[in-house]
Chain A
């Protein structure tokens, strides 16, 4: 007699924003086997980057790989091209790039936290965080003109300047956000019903994190010191006060705490940038066509993002390889599900903060 039952999750499910299908093999309540299908969103961006668009337009195309970390995608691609063209970007443009990168990280982490709460059945917290997230979205609209997909980064710099009044408004909003985030930290650490849903569930040990090459908040929650912001010198993260956040538990609660602490750190960095935006041009003109190979890594909200660009001295590129964070975390995801209760699966999945449109490109 067959003792296990197969329960599917997806491709369309209330707790999923995007189509992904997991097939759980369950023994009573316990998950003993996981099969995943992540290819629902495959569109063929990599091919289009080398056949349909010229190199100066690709930066706006790759932003459409993912709406949540669009800025990291366009930044990584642009930096790769700038390395091939030998363009030196002004310090002001670099600061503005970090500002947008960190604002994007804040709103993405807030979305993930609210979604984790919703999956655990805490609807009020979902509404609260989503409501406060609008403050960050307003800042982004103020800075770039659009809420999402803001095509802010161009080859050689950024597309819009920041005025003194905007900076003042942003600082005020960031202060409000900081107070709200401190409130969440209290809620996430002290709320008893949330601890029942989050503590000790979906744990990944440090050794497993090494073995499965986990990245982003997932790895840092297990105590693995990996953060690309610490491993690149291109952006001035050191002088802006970047601190790596790590935790040792590796469960859902640890991931939430990591995200909350990272929001606080990002807010601090944003404030540091706004306190002293350097003088200078925002765009430097570039000449020539890209040739050669370059490999660029950046820290997206979900982990490490890698771009490999190969040019051949014409307007069309030879190869654009996009390695997205969720793509390399899928083996770790599947491993974490083993031995957990099926009822916890949506909350565990939400705590990974998966981005399937990144994964499948």
Chain B
């Protein structure tokens, strides 16, 4: 697993340069709650027909930050983006909430702090 840290404002450009849709398989977007009200967001890719070659791009950000959308580069990322909105209560460009949670559910269950 190779991990590369990117600044939040550069992430879309970075993924655009890196992502070749016939070479890399997009796995998912993952969030990890860190201490001090910080959030780590990871974009995970794996290489087709290669042994254990997983590439992770990640950013560290606040819960208030607007996370840019990668749907124009990777169309199937839309469902991962909707999930991360529900689970962490963050805002992602161009995606709405309500994939899993209802009005009376616990909101942002994985955030690790109340927002």
Contacts and interface: CB of A to CB of B under 8 A. Distances in A.
B7 interface: no
Contacts of A327: 28, 79, 83
B49 A231 contact: yes
Interface stretch (A7-15, A26-34, A41-49, A87-95): A41-49
Contacts of A293: 1
B76 A306 contact: no
Interface in B5-59: 21-22, 25-28, 30, 32-33, 42, 44, 46, 48-54, 56
Contact of A211 (B32, B75, B106): B75
Contacts of A231: 46, 49-53
Contacts of B25: 213, 215, 226
A67 interface: no
Q: How large is the interface on B (under 10, 10 to 19, 20 to 34, 35 or more residues)?
A: 35 or more
B76 A360 contact: no
B52 A233 contact: yes
Contacts of B22: 210
Contacts of A210: 21-22
Contacts of A283: none
A304 B27 contact: yes
A360 B87 CA distance: 12
26 contacts: A39-B99, A39-B100, A42-B101, A44-B109, A46-B87, A210-B21, A212-B75, A213-B74, A224-B48, A225-B49, A230-B49, A231-B50, A233-B51, A233-B52, A295-B44, A297-B46, A318-B33, A319-B32, A319-B110, A321-B28, A321-B30, A323-B27, A328-B76, A328-B80, A330-B79, A360-B100
Interface of B: 1, 21-22, 25-28, 30, 32-33, 42, 44, 46, 48-54, 56, 74-76, 78-80, 83, 87, 98-101, 106, 109-110
